[in-house]
Amino acid sequence: MSLDTAAVKPHEALGAMLETEMAAVDRLIHERMVSENAPRIPEITAHLVDAGGKRLRPMLTLASAKLCGYDGPYHVHLAATVEFIHTATLLHDDVVDESDKRRGRPTANLLWDNKSSVLVGDYLFARAFQLMVEPGSLRVLEILSNASATIAEGEVLQLTASRNLATNEDVYLKVIRGKTAALFSAATESGAVIADAQPEHITALRAYGDALGIAFQIVDDLLDYGGSTSATGKNIGDDFRERKLTLPVIKAVAQADDQERAFWRRVIEIGKQGDDDLEHACHLLAKHNTLEETRVEALDWATKAKSALAPLPATDIKDVLIDLADFVVARVS
């Protein structure tokens, strides 16, 4: 089935299969984002939570749990936990990146202020930890608290690695494993663990989440040099302006001649950017074919994600998870 002609997108198919549970997750999220004392908290949280994100991460937790034969109720708590962690990181990311647009809408730091974004993010982290304690599974707590540390570590690494032309593909992989794949893999793994799945199924679902998250982030970074604002909801060239070293640029820097290196040094390390520099950067990426190479890597990770699912029994949900891996890279396929 070609994804371009598919009537129903896989995350929508997953949403339909998990309709009851996703409604429960949504109720739990709205119930727990309330703050009796500080009304600004639900105000800001609603701005993000109700912005029409795909809710990919909580769906992954629910799908994993169901795929491993779990009937509930605690996959709902874990799914809400994962969405809270995700929302908290979005709030803090937008402060750190000084972003003004998220999912096609003004960011919270723009509508309110940085202070509110920092503190409401902290509140959502804490709410996530309260929620994850409720199922009473220490193994799940380990997975999710480890993921939280890995996410923050990835973000700090990104901060120090950006603006530094010495950043190589190894560092890039660590950064995106932290900032993106850690939560995907924790989402799938915790779903399997709460279902008390057999060890090889837990490992398989964790590996699926990891590879899916990496594919997802590589595509995101690729689209920053090639997508359109309407398709991604973000501005093209954001990473360039923020002087982040993402895979297409890292590959181009590795092949740069002296003159190109001087260009990258000026725009990324020194940060002196003029009007035509984004265009010239895109020209260099095209010259060295790095957008294509990056695209191939994204497809490889999607393939890895699908292969990881091999040990799991064939079910509707497994089929949709396979489709989802294709869908994540479909924007660049």
Sites of contact with a copy of itself (CB under 8 A): 35, 37-41, 89, 92, 95-96, 114-116, 118-123, 125-127, 129-130, 133, 136, 138, 141-142, 145-146, 148-149, 151-157, 159-160, 174, 178
Could you give the CA distance from residue 262 to residue 149 in angstroms, rounded to a whole number? 36
Segment (H or E) for 219: helix 199-223
Identify the residue whose tokens are 């998870």. Answer: 321
Q: How far is the CB of 150 from a copy of itself (least distance, A)?
A: 8
Whichever of 23 and 34 has its CB closer to a copy of itself, that residue is 34
Whose tokens are 């119930």? That residue is 31
CB of residue 292 vs a copy of itself: minimum separation in angstroms?
29
Cβ neighbours of residue 73 closer than 8 Å, sequence gap 6 or more = 24
Complex with a copy of itself: residue 172 or 225, whichever CB lies closer: 172
Closest distance of CB 152 from a copy of itself, Å: 4
How is residue 126 written in tokens? 């804490």
We find the least distance from the C-beta atom of residue 19 to a copy of itself, in angstroms, to be 30
Q: Which is nearer to a copy of itself, 115 or 287 (CB)?
A: 115
Q: Please state the closest distance from residue 109 (CB atom) to a copy of itself, in A.
A: 11
With respect to a copy of itself, which residue has the nearer C-beta, 214 or 302?
214
Smallest separation (angstroms) from a copy of itself to the CB of 88: 8
Q: Report the Cα 126 to chain-centroid distance in Å.
A: 20
Which lies closer to a copy of itself via its Cβ, residue 21 or residue 83? 83
Query: Which is closer to a copy of itself, CB of 42 or CB of 227?
Result: 42
CB atoms within 10 A of CB 256: 19
> Cα 62 to the chain's mean position, in Å?
17
- The answer to whether the CB of 179 falls within 8 A of the CB of 165 is no
Instruction: Indicate the burial class of 35 (C-beta count within 10 angstroms; 0-12, 13-18, 19 or more).
Output: middle
